[in-house]
Amino acid sequence: MTESLSIEKAWNELKQHWHIPTTGEPLPKTPSYSFLRMFLSPLLRPSLNAKLYGLHNIPRKGAVILAANHLSHVDPIFVIAAARRTTHYLAKDGHFKNAVLRTAMRATGQIETKRDKGGEGALSSAADVLSEGQALGIFPEGTRSKRSEAPFLLPGKTGIARLAASYPDAVVVPIALLGTRRMMMPQDHKFPRLWRRIALSAGTGVTWFEWLKHPKGGAITVEQLQEISMQEEHEIRASLASLYRKFTDQLMGSISKLGAP
């Protein structure tokens, strides 16, 4: 326990270098979400050829980051279904221009992000979710894979590591989606082919603090964190960037091992 507290304290001494501020905006209300889960899900479930594995690895409460590979427009739907709790995704402002789609996005708690605010603005919107102890869905690849043949999995962007580091008690759960590309292939299918078989596998989650201490994770000590805190600003940024990259690469490795194509 002492080591855990020491790691926590040493990491918090670097807070000015890793903290992601929130936007201060309230999370969107989801009055229709419970209704959709209660009534729409039972109607759709019999028509879907879906297998969900490892759902016990997804916490039912508290801050959590659900990190999945991205193959199709239907991916968020299956992650939200697997979470069994309100899950917020960041969505480009273009998705909110169509009235029907805008209504659906807001009813399920999805967060509109403005392109002119850039990546930092998106991270702050994500921080809004985690600061409230809610579930955040994210695609670490940063975009839907455009590859026409396997392997489809792209290298991860380090934004997810920055979020995990800024909310070090949030559980990061790796998730592999299989078959969603065949269900609704980008540019080819206007509507999902619900009869296509898909699978979702959720792996064991880890917090940033747990990862920092794990010998096969960050493998970092209190002394090493203290040494980083005494470096010059540009050296601190480089040291943290190295940790972010390592975390992200290991997360993508976990998603791949779960079966992501």
* Domain CATH number, residue 173: 3.40.1130
Domain count for the chain, please give it.
Answer: 1
Q: Which range, 18-27, 71-80, 191-200, is most confident?
A: 18-27
Return the pLDDT at 109: 74
**CA atoms within 13 Å, Cβ hemisphere of 170:** 28
Structural tokens at position 221: 């000590």
**CA atoms within 13 Å, Cβ hemisphere of 20:** 23
Cβ(67)–Cβ(175) below 8 Å: yes
pLDDT above 90 as % of the chain: 56
Amino acid at 38: M
Strands (E), the chain: 49-53, 64-68, 87-92, 111-113, 135-138, 171-178, 197-202
Which tens digit of pLDDT belongs to each residue from 116-165? 566 788 899 999 999 999 999 999 998 778 777 778 899 999 999 999 99
- pTM equals 0.88
Distances (CA, A) of 33 to 88, 122, 127: 11, 23, 21
Higher pLDDT, 145 or 191: 145
pLDDT above 70 as % of the chain: 81
**Per-chain mean pLDDT for the chain:** 86
pLDDT band at 1 (very low <50, low <70, confident <90, very high): very low
Between CA 12 and CA 57 the distance in angstroms is: 27
Pairing of strands 49-53, 197-202: parallel
Length of the chain: 261
| Domain limits for position 230 | 2-257
Q: Residue 206 forms beta bridges with which residues?
A: 172
3-state secondary structure of 193: coil
